[in-house]
Amino acid sequence: MNSYLEIKNITKRFGDFTALHEVSLAVEKGEFVTFLGPSGSGKTTTLMIIAGFEKATSGDVLVQGQSLSGLAPYQRNIGIVFQNYALFPHKTAADNVYFPLQMRGYGRGEGLEKAAEMLDLVGLKGFGDRYPKELSGGQQQRVALARALVFEPSLLLLDEPLGALDKNLREQMQIEIKRIQRRLGVTTVFVTHDQSEAMSMSDRIVVFEQGRIQQAASPLDVYHRPKTRFVAGFVGESNLIPARITDAAAGKADSPVLGNCEVKANGAADGQDVTLLIRPEHIRLSREPVDGRKNARMQVDTIVNYGDNALVMGRVGDLNMRARVLGRDVIILEEGDECCISWLPESVFVIEQ
C-alpha cells in the first residue's frame, strides 16, 4: 500500500552545491508533518519541490501514487501559506479566499459563499470586506490559511507561517492551525526552524540538516530518543557527554569526565564510542550526593531564573553542563557555588552517532 505523499530519493543541486542528498519520506493521509531544521538545511527547498516552484535534479514526488514531476504549480492543487502570507493587496479578504475558486471556474455567488464559510471556519466571520492592510498580522495569517484551504487541496504546505507574529499570537495560531487541520483532515507539511512549534503541532517531525533527513519520528521520540547528536542538540536543550560503552549487556559506559555511568545501551556494541544525552530537566541539584542516582559535582557559573523555572549552567571537570530546575529550588544557590548534580540511570540516552 502506497503512502499518501511520497518523496522518493530527491536530490537538488545548485551548481556545485548540493542542497538535498537523496531525501526520501512517506507521509500518510491526514498527517501533520513538520520539517524542522536550521536555515539552509534543505527543508524549504524540499517544500518548494513539492509545490513545484523548484525542480528536483533527480527523484520524484508522488501524491496518491501519481507523480507530480510533470505538473506546473498551478496544476498541482496544493495549498500553500507563505511566510509573509502573500495576500493580494488589491483584493478584499473574501476576494482573496474566492480567488482559487474563481480560477477553478466557480461563479461569483457560489464562490463567495464558500469563501465566507471558510473565513468563518478560521475565525474571521464578518471580516470579508476588509483589505489585507486593514487586518492584523494574525488575521492576515488566517485569511492566507482560508485561501489555501478553500479549494480542498490535496496537500497543505506551510512555509514558516508564524515567523512574523509575536509570541502570544504565535502560540494562539499554533493551536488554531492544528484545530483547523484536524477538522478538515488535510495532509499538511509545515516548515519551521522553531523546535517548540514543531513539538507542539506535529504528528511527526522530520529533522533536516545539511540537505539530509537526520530523523523522522514522533515529537516525543525525537525529543527523548534522538538518532544523532545534531537532533539532540537542535531539539530542546541537552547535555551531550562523550563516552564509550564498556559493557553493553550490563548497561555500563565510561566517560572521561563522569567516570562509570549506568546507561541503556540501545544496541550499541562494547567498546563503541557514543554520546550520552541527559536532558537538563532530568538533572536534580543538591548539596550532598543522593543515593540511587548518578552524582557529580558541578561548579555553578550562571543562574538564569525565569520565576517558574531556572536554568543553572556550570562545569563538571571541563564539561559544560546545564540543569533546568524549579525556580524555588535554585534560591539556595549562588553563582560560583559548588553543588551536587544527579540523575537516574534511565534518564541517560545513548546516541550512537
Residues of the shown chain interacting with another protein in the complex, contacts defined by CB under 8 A? 51, 53, 72-74, 76-80, 82-84, 86, 88-91, 99-100, 102-104, 147-148, 151
To the nearest whole angstrom, how small is the minimum distance from the Cβ of residue 85 to another protein? 9
| Nearer to another protein (CB atom), residue 121 or residue 298 | 121
| Nearer to another protein (CB atom), residue 77 or residue 299 | 77
To the nearest whole angstrom, how small is the minimum distance from the Cβ of residue 159 to another protein? 9
Q: How far is CA 334 from CA 228, 302, 307, 324, 340, in A?
A: 34, 8, 16, 15, 13
Of the candidates 151, 162, 155, the residue with the CA atom closest to the CA atom of residue 110:
151
| Nearer to another protein (CB atom), residue 51 or residue 339 | 51
To the nearest whole angstrom, how small is the minimum distance from the Cβ of residue 108 to another protein? 13
To the nearest whole angstrom, how small is the minimum distance from the Cβ of residue 130 to another protein? 17
To the nearest whole angstrom, how small is the minimum distance from the Cβ of residue 89 to another protein? 8
| Nearer to another protein (CB atom), residue 12 or residue 76 | 76
| Nearer to another protein (CB atom), residue 35 or residue 349 | 35
| Nearer to another protein (CB atom), residue 101 or residue 231 | 101
Burial 304-326 (b: 16+ CB within 10 A, else e): eeeeebbbbbbebeebebbbbbe
Helical ranges in the chain per DSSP H: 43-51, 93-103, 108-121, 137-149, 167-184, 195-201, 219-224, 229-234
Of the candidates 338, 329, 286, 282, the residue with the CA atom closest to the CA atom of residue 309:
329
CA angle 191, 44, 231 (to 5 degrees): 65
Q: 309-316 and 319-326: which strand pairing?
A: antiparallel
Within 10 Å of residue 169's Cβ, how many Cβ atoms? 16
To the nearest whole angstrom, how small is the minimum distance from the Cβ of residue 49 to another protein? 13
Phi, psi of 237, rounded to the nearest 5 degrees: -90, 150
What is the maximal distance between C-alpha atoms in the chain?
76
| Nearer to another protein (CB atom), residue 155 or residue 235 | 155
To the nearest whole angstrom, how small is the minimum distance from the Cβ of residue 43 to another protein? 17
